[in-house]
Structure 1
Amino acid sequence: MTRSCKISSNSSWVHCGYHLTTSIVAPPLLSLPFAFTFLGWTAGILFMVIAAVVTFYNYNLISLVLEHHANQGRRMLRFRDMARDILGPPWGRFLVGPIQFALCFCVVVACILLGGQCMKTIYLLSNPNGSMKLYEFIVVFGCFMLILAQMPSFHSLRHINLVSLILCLAYSACAIAGSIYIGYSSKGPKKDYSIKGNTESRIFGAFNAMSIIATAYGNGIVPEIQATLAPPVKGKMFKGLCICYAVIIVTFFGAAISGYWAFGNQAEGLILTNFMDSNGKPLVPKWFIYMTNIFTIAQLAAVGVVYLQPTNEVLEQAFSDPKSPEFSQRNVVPRLILRSLSTAIGTVIAAMLPFFGDINSLIGAFGLMPLDFILPPVFFNSTFRPSKKTPIFWLNVSIAVVFSIVGAIAAVAAVRQIVLDAKTYQLFANFVIGHQGVDEGTSKSSSIRSSQCDAQTRSFRTIVSQHIKSRH
């Protein structure tokens, strides 16, 4: 491996907490109230708790497996390394590796897309008759990310990720405060918590909602984050996860509960959309919407750079010289070119495909579900081989089986949604969050649907959470 792409193992457990928080707690958490519209209060809160417990448990399983193999002299730095050494080389090369790479790059695209949409929201609030198109803002945001992408290693992102942690708390607080303000005001919609739709749409909607919630907790780079820890790593990952999940409890549950309480089954794919009425008039002060979107934009850049790391590693492993110093001209020039190229490609895709959320929802079902819900218990059972008479064996098997079923149904639902939305797809479309003005010939309903799907791409995180579904 080249020096330029080598993971620097100098982080403390606090830095680990920053990295984990940035990779999980992202703006797609603002789509959680939308998931509740398909589940209702009881099922929505219950599944959020289940997803939190399962992912916290699974990430600790991954940590234990990585630590066990490292103590035996086989250090694994990525999901594909784990699949190769534990399940066999074909699993790492042909399945897990490509899944992780595709997933992480899709999160990058989704971050750029949502960042551009947030920038255009600010623009239209200050200049309602402005003529700038969405793709222009996507390019601006992509240039901002291109600068941050030049950070040499994952460890060097620790200060950016600390700021990211503060930002996610900030815009979550704004979302909660805005929802409560509108919920108590006379301007807010009438609260209705009934689940709409016929039997078919309600069933698919429920599984879509489960997938939205599950992927909101997703993290496709846990091994890379653990690899940044300075030895000995024992107990550090657990402490980092505790930091992360403390933030998750405050942000995820706060935004989901307050948003659904305020807007009921009118909650949109991104709760910020509900801060504008049907005529595009803000229901909260304009400065409040400006502030919330600025916080969101800044954190999206950090999330995108974190998920760009696997792409950087693959490219730099192929083109850098391990015998030359990390900051020599031989390594700096290729790194600058390759990182700029990968960011530029992500920016072009985001500008061309503002309906990317529907596609990303399918990738989320095939990507985040296996990496975060299915493979960790499989890795643990294959590594430690607990007796079939022990509860932990059957607990792990149950988690893998249940979420395999949920992932399969979510994939079917994602394909169904792509078919339903296909007629609204348009290259370089000019959709925007929370604004009713759209391009000539584009309907209001397709604008809302697309802004919802854009808001839900996460990654992975898909983002930046995905699975946007129109109400049928």
Structure 2
Amino acid sequence: MASIIPQMKSMEIQGKIMTPQTFSLESGPIEDDQIIKDIPPTAHAVGNDSWQQVSLMLITSFNCGWVLSFSKLILVPVGWAWGIPSMLIVGFFSAYSSWVLAGFHFVDGQRFIRYRDIMGFLFGKKLYYLTLILQFSTFVLSNMGFILLGGKALKEINLVFNDTAMRLQYYIIITGVIYCIFAFVVPNLSAMRLWLGVSTFLTFGYIGVLLVVSAKDAKSVANKNYETQEDSTVGKVLSAFGAISAMIVSNNSGMIPEIQSTLQKPAVKNLRKALCMQYTLGLMVYYGVSVAGYWIYGSDVPEYLPKAISGPKWAKVLINLAVFLQNVISQHMFFQPVHEALDTKFLKVEEDAYSRENLKRRFFLRTLLFAANTLVTAAIPFMGDFINLLGSFTLVTLTFIFPSMIFIKARKTAGTGHKAWHWTLIIVFSLLAVATTISAARLIINNVRNYRLFANR
């Protein structure tokens, strides 16, 4: 990948990385007229978007079709008593960590447009490459999950009209092709501007129809069971950590600096405005859907919520079609850092994104990337695994551990209380990363035992 570790050699004296002054939550906002050094080369747009546009992108992207799995993955393993408080705690710390990380978009007068560049600048090459691996594994797995979800939505539409549908793998291939075409036509985050209105309409449309139709089932579903489904204590504990993983996925992307790079000045202040919108309006929607699904159907709620509704056929078709179309737009945001790295490496940065040469190169890059992801998704169609694995080691580290490490390294003048607080976060969330990874590995092992490659689930 083409990213570099900016200004590394200028900050290195006798083998040690010097710690620059930086800006963070406690040090105040960045002024518009601050002098910023050159950013590293990139094939994508930087500093073009308003905070309103980014807010809308965050709200709709996090309220994608994945919210229809959260009732099963978040609340069924832990129930009401532990589920609701855990959702609120995870939401709070997700917002806090994102807020802190947003404050380090500028370090020593330099603007960082990639997470791995910040880590490399402060901690050296090892952390640079570790961040790259964590991020890209997260984005690739996320994209596979989106492809799988899109394929399931198409299959559900087919089942409405025909009791026997094609194999899931055919729908996965169709989904991968459509995602690839969209990624080719819309090259970067800033180019999503015209599509965000469509995404908003589809998002609140299918969620509204789903809640209205499923609300009728609340009266007809008798003897609802809210008990956890694990018998052993160990099973309950591991399932609970799996639920926490899903909560983390529902709130975080692992790409705060990359999103922030698209914003107009002042980038720190504008991203924090967008984060406020995500963790108020956006969070209320995806948490609301999760709670509603569990309340209506109890522990019997399926992994994909529309499967449970008993409403008219048109409602099922409309919901699944809207989910599929909205996912085309949402998945594009969560896969952008991968596109940016490949485009910066292989496209001609000095030419327009829509030049003939860049169009040709982007076509081959997108085709190869989505062909590989679609093949793996078709071979391993286990939806729950993607969410739990994403929320385990990778997102816990990117969301909670690294921002505190950055704070401690860069803010040498911070008080003892601030440093102690961030060290506490590092220790607690490191333990959580281990626990959630064990839980995710257990789920994967169980599915490997029960299903073969290219299973028609």
| CA drift at 1:338 | 0.8
Match of 2:46 in 1: 8
Deviation at 1:26, TM superposition (A): 2.4
1:136 is matched with: 170
Partner of 2:145: 110
Task: Specify whether residues 327 and 129 from structure 1 end up closer, same or farther in structure 2 by C-alpha distance, changes over 3 A only.
Answer: closer
- 8 Å contact from structure 1 (residues 37, 265) kept in 2: yes
Q: Which residue of 1 aligns with 2:323?
A: 296
Q: CA shift at 1:382, angstroms? A: 2.0
CA distance in structure 2 between the partners assigned to 1:255 and 1:103 by the alignment: 24
Between the aligned partners of 1:359 and 1:213, the Cα distance in structure 2 is: 13
Matched, 1:91 2:127: yes
- Which residue number in structure 2 is paired with residue 253 of structure 1? 287
CA displacement at 1:315 relative to structure 2: 1.6
Distance 2:68 2:427 in 1: 29
Counterpart for residue 231 of structure 1: 265
What is the distance in 2 between the residues matched to 1:18 and 1:138? 28
2:93 corresponds, among 54, 69, 75, to 54
Change in CA separation of 1:308 and 1:389 when aligned onto 2, cut-off 3 Å: closer
Task: State whether residues 246 and 387 of structure 2, in contact with CA within 8 Å, keep that contact through their aligned partners in structure 1.
Answer: no
Give 1:219's match in structure 2, choosing from 227, 239, 253: 253
| Code of the aligned partner of 1:301 | V
Could you say what the CA RMSD is over the residues aligned between the two structures, in angstroms? 2.1
- Shift in alpha-carbon separation, 1:341–1:400, aligned structure 2, 3 A: same
**What residue is the counterpart of 2:13 in the other structure?**
none
- 1:356 deviates by 6.0
User: Which one-letter code corresponds to 1:399 in the other structure?
Assistant: L
Q: 1:8-62: CA deviations, max 9, x gaps?
A: 3210001111232244332222222222122221211111111111111111111
Structure 1 spans left out of the alignment, 5+ residues: 276-282, 432-472
Contact 2:142 2:386 in 1 (8 A): no
Once the two structures are superposed, the pairs formed by residues 387-466 of structure 1 within 5 Å of their partners are 387-390=414-417, 392-431=418-457
Correspondence for 1:354 among 369, 381, 395: 381
Letter in 2 for 1:296: V
- The letter for the 1-side match of 2:261 is A
1:469 match: none
Give, in whole Å, the separation in 1 of the partners of 2:41 and 2:359: 11
Instruction: Give, in whole Å, the separation in 2 of the partners of 1:19 and 1:324.
Output: 27
Report the count of equivalent residues: 416
Uncovered stretches (5+) of structure 2, i.e. residues with no partner: 3-39
- Is 1:341 aligned to residue 368 of structure 2? yes
Q: Which residue of 2 aligns with 1:64?
A: 103
State how far apart, in whole Å, the 2-side matches of 1:169 and 1:55 are. 23
Query: Contact 1:84–1:91 at 8 Å: present in 2 too?
Result: yes
In structure 2, distance between residues paired with 1:354 and 1:28: 15
Task: Report the Cα offset of residue 85 of structure 1.
Answer: 1.1
Cα drift, residue 359 of structure 1? 5.8
The counterpart of 1:191, out of the listed 210, 224, 232, is 224
Query: In the alignment, which residue of structure 2 is the partner of 1:166?
Result: 201
Paired residue type of 2:127: W
Task: Report the equivalent of 1:80.
Answer: 116
Q: What TM-score do you get using the length of structure 1 for normalisation? A: 0.83
The share of aligned pairs that are identical, in percent, is 27
* Aligned partners of 1:112 and 1:347 also within 8 Å: yes
C-alpha displacement at 1:311, in angstroms? 1.8
What's the offset of the Cα at 1:357? Answer: 4.2
Residue 104 of structure 2 aligns to a residue in which SS? helix
> Does the CA contact (< 8 Å) of 1:359 and 1:418 recur in 2?
no
Distance of 1:137 and 1:219 partners within structure 2: 26
**TM-score using structure 2 length:** 0.85
- SS of 1:5's equivalent in the other structure is coil
